[in-house]
Chains A and B, each alone.
Chain A
């Protein structure tokens, strides 16, 4: 079927089989391989992207369901050479080891920070329940999300 998607501010018109998942369009048709597939069973959060500003698991949404909507992936966050404050915080806090979970973590974290001003550590831990990391033990991820949320606030007021 024909679908229209705006991905990272670029409009696309695509012809895909009805049963195509959003993640397959992103990684396959559009070669945006920053969005990962970990479990493919809705558990791990490696595939999280934003659809119309909300974080969703792109392995659990059809491309057809996103027809006419705006999608943001990890590739759409940086502004040229300057990283998004959440990306910057993950780098500075050493919040990744193998990096497989990182794109999904960052997309979930940004949605969380936008929705909850004055984020607490407990809220971060709860807010990231849908994202699994096999490497870090989460400590530095939590630190990074708190730092990234402050960075986003500072960037918004400056």
Chain B
């Protein structure tokens, strides 16, 4: 593995201060994406700043929102009594990421910052009108994911927590790659009283909101003629763009039927 130096930040301020403008230092969260990327020479940071001692984990439930600290592990979100009570579909989503060992290390902040087109959390962020809190500002989910592995974070900006609106109902449907268990397509549907929200991951370069389907309301039984912009859909050895579009329609109907 490439050489790099390692340090453990003791607070949020310490972590941000350890960053420099060169972009050659990187935050290390669970390491479940960053360490394999370094091994495969896809990334070559000179310094890693471990966030595990910076006090960024934990789950807080408010009256209308639930807020999850950036360093909260997938396994802890899946097992959290508070999340299971407030938004069971979110706990279900976290419990279906990768495998048990990935869930024991991987974090919500790392997953969101990585902005993998096939990651699960982004669908929930869109579906639950989430706000990404950073050390500098608050970014609405719809403005956060902007391209293939690209997001609105500036160099050195650190995600501190993610705040989700508590819906009346929600469901996550995932068509998983049988080997990696990443989402070939994942749809997170949520209802807020009678208003519906649909977040889609896996299908396109980045997670998006399928607003055209939302307009058809909770009782919708057929989405085959609803428009779906496929201009930035993924096509790879697992699924063509056309097949992914088909999956988006099928999984959305399934998710909405469970609301």
Q: Please choose the segment from B30-38, B128-136, B161-169 that sits at the chain A interface, where 4 or more of its residues have CB less than 8 A away.
A: B30-38
Among A54, A62, A129, contact of B99 (Cβ-Cβ < 8 Å): A129
Asked if residues B100 and A55 are in contact (CB atoms below 8 Å), the reply is yes
Known: A54-B104, A62-B35. A41 touches B4 (CB 8 A): no
Smallest CB-CB separation from A49: which chain B residue?
B101
Q: Please choose the segment from A4-12, A14-22, A142-150 that sits at the chain B interface, where 4 or more of its residues have CB less than 8 A away.
A: A14-22
Q: A119-135 interface mask toward B, CB cutoff 8 Å, 1 = contact, 0 = none?
A: 00000000101110000
Q: Which B residues from 1 to 33 make CB contacts under 8 A with A?
A: 1-6, 8, 28, 31-32
A112 to B179 alpha-carbon distance, docked (Å): 20
Q: B32-54 interface mask toward A, CB cutoff 8 Å, 1 = contact, 0 = none?
A: 10011001100000001010100
With a CB–CB cut-off of 8 A, which chain B residues contact A40?
Answer: 39
The answer to whether A141 has its CB under 8 Å from any CB of chain B is: no
| Interface footprint category on B | 20 to 34
Q: Which B residues from 36 to 95 make CB contacts under 8 A with A?
A: 36, 39-40, 48, 50, 52, 75
Interface centre among B32, B40, B50, B100 (most CB of A within 10 A): B100
Number of interface residues of A (CB under 8 A): 28
Known: A40-B39, A55-B100, A130-B102. A19 touches B50 (CB 8 A): no
Name 29 interchain pairs, CB-CB below 8 A, sorted by A: A1-B6, A18-B4, A18-B5, A19-B3, A19-B6, A42-B32, A42-B35, A42-B36, A48-B101, A55-B104, A57-B101, A57-B102, A57-B105, A60-B31, A60-B32, A60-B36, A62-B35, A64-B8, A65-B28, A65-B31, A65-B50, A67-B8, A108-B100, A108-B101, A127-B100, A129-B99, A130-B98, A130-B101, A130-B102
